[in-house]
Amino acid sequence: MGEMQTCYSLRCGYVTDAEGTTCPKCGGRLRTAKVIRRLGWAQLLIGLFLVGMMGTITVMTAPYLLHPGDTSGGTTFTGTPEQAQLFLGLFGIVIFFGVGTMFSGGWQVVTGKRNRWIAILMLVIFVILIGVGLAVKNAVPR
């Protein structure tokens, strides 16, 4: 008997100790706990990168975005306060997505399994992120 494998599909979660790479129940990929943990580490690192980079960008640009037209800092934001709020909101959602990615990766590292509800939540946050990104794109004059 081989190592236990879990279907990586969100809709399935089938567990078996049989050899193979395809789930007999849904056709998804079977993954061992070791592989799922490795993927979790990758998610954790990506989340740390997103939070670190977007946090730094937010801290560096927030003073300019919150005070449009102020040239005392050597640079200025020429947009409207509403545009600044959209930008900061987008930054915040990316940071929140990064935190969620870290949480999801941490879950996979600790348990060796993928959590369906965390994955669904991350997909919802991603859709919101795309929506806010489109709103920012449409708010910036061409």
CA distance linking residue 32 with residue 25, whole number of Å: 16
pLDDT tens digits, residue range 86-121? 889 889 999 999 999 999 999 999 988 888 888 888
Tokens 């599909």 — which residue? 9
- What are φ and ψ of residue 51, in 5° steps? -65, -45
Confidence band of 139 (pLDDT split at 50, 70, 90): confident
Sign of the C-alpha dihedral computed for residues 86, 91, 97 and 103 taken in this order: negative
> Which pLDDT value is given to residue 91?
92
- Find the helix or strand (DSSP H, E) in which 5 lies: strand 5-7
